[in-house]
């Protein structure tokens, strides 16, 4: 049994990642991805998701429709081995104490942590989120999400982001085991959307089953 925690600053895409994974589980696409295998969903809980009222047009982060108050949770089972795993995605708005509690709880019970970053915002502000998390394993995975929003040469830009993230965690004596580059939404007009959608499923499966 692996407990995975998806942690990251507000709107990095943690809930979207989990929702997309559930879709892969439901329609059986999970068997088609790299390293895929048959899995069944046991429990899906997105009840901690709240509608964002109105949304301040001046603030890009608040234009989204929902935010996570209580951690989202998905339990699934690998059919072949019979092993069950849980993925938790707490909210990122740590200024709210109830959300902050979710982050603290999940960071303590998770055996595997995925640090989720968004490509569309400076890393510096996103690092602030992780400075606040006190309980952290020595080895983590990193997810660079919203790759569809990256401008310029993809390979170059990813390398730069990876180096910066590695450096940040190194200062905290945390090693990055693997970095995954993902797109958690079905973005029309993004040529490689399928590849990077699949990465979401591949990432979570690899971390739980390896």
Ligand X SMILES: Nc1nc2c(ncn2[C@@H]2O[C@H](COP(=O)(O)OP(=O)(O)OP(=O)(O)O)[C@@H](O)[C@H]2O)c(=O)[nH]1
Q: Which CB sits closer to ligand X, 148 or 202?
A: 148
* Footprint of Mg ion (CB under 5 A): 14-15, 68
15 is a site residue for ligand X (CB under 6 A): yes
Could you say which of 86, 112, 113, 148 contacts ligand X (CB under 6 A)? 148
The angle, 0 to 180 degrees and rounded to 10, between the axes of the packed helices 14-27 and 193-209 is 90
| Furthest C-alpha separation in the chain | 50
Could you say which of 38, 64, 160, 172 contacts ligand X (CB under 6 A)? 64
Contact set for ligand X, span 65-94 (CB under 6 A): 67-68, 91-93
How, if at all, do strands 39-45 and 3-7 pair?
unpaired
For residue 15, the number of C-alpha atoms closer than 13 Å in the C-beta half-sphere is 22
Interface with ligand X: number of residues (CB under 6 A): 22
Q: Which CB sits closer to Mg ion, 14 or 94?
A: 14
Contact set for ligand X, span 18-57 (CB under 6 A): none
- Among ligand X, Mg ion, none, partner that 185 touches (CB below 5 to 8 angstroms by kind): ligand X
Tokens standing for 177? 């085991």
**Class of residue 13 by CB neighbours under 10 A (exposed 0-12, middle 13-18, buried 19+):** buried
21 phi-psi bin (left φ>0, alpha ψ -120 to 50, beta other): alpha
How, if at all, do strands 72-78 and 175-181 pair?
unpaired
Looking at 11-19, 30-38, 39-47, 151-159, which segment touches ligand X (CB under 6 A)?
Answer: 11-19
Q: Which CB sits closer to ligand X, 185 or 198?
A: 185
Going from the C-alpha of 164 to that of each of 81, 157, 159, 170, the distances in angstroms are: 38, 11, 9, 10
Q: Which CB sits closer to Mg ion, 80 or 186?
A: 186
- Among ligand X, Mg ion, none, partner that 5 touches (CB below 5 to 8 angstroms by kind): none
14 is a site residue for ligand X (CB under 6 A): yes
In the complex, minimum distance from the CB of residue 84 to ligand X, in angstroms, rounded to a whole number: 23
- Among Mg ion, ligand X, none, partner that 94 touches (CB below 5 to 8 angstroms by kind): none
Handedness of CA 53, 57, 60, 63 (dihedral sign): positive
Catalog residues that contact ligand X under the rule CB under 6 A: 8, 10-16, 64, 67-68, 91-93, 145-146, 148-149, 183-185, 187
């Amino acid at each position: 049994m692996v407990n995975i925690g998806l942690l990251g600053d507000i709107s990095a895409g943690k809930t979207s990642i989990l929702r997309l994974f559930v879709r892969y589980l439901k329609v059986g696409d999970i068997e088609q991805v790299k390293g895929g295998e048959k899995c069944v969903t046991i429990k899906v809980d997105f009840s901690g998701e709240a509608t964002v009222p109105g949304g301040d047009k001046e603030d890009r982060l608040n234009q989204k429709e929902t935010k996570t108050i209580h951690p989202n949770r998905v339990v699934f089972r690998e059919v072949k081995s019979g092993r069950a795993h849980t993925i938790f995605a707490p909210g990122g708005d740590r200024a709210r104490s109830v959300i902050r509690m979710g982050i603290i709880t999940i960071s303590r019970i998770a055996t595997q942590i995925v640090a989720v970053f968004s490509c569309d915002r400076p890393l510096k502000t996103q690092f602030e989120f992780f400075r606040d998390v006190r309980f952290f394993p020595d080895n983590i995975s990193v997810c660079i999400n919203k790759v569809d929003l990256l401008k310029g040469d993809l390979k170059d830009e990813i390398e730069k982001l990876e180096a910066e993230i590695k450096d940040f965690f190194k200062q905290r004596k945390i090693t990055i085991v693997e970095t995954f580059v993902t797109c958690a939404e079905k973005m029309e007009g993004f040529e490689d959307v399928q590849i990077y959608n699949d990465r979401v499923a591949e990432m979570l499966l690899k971390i739980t089953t390896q």
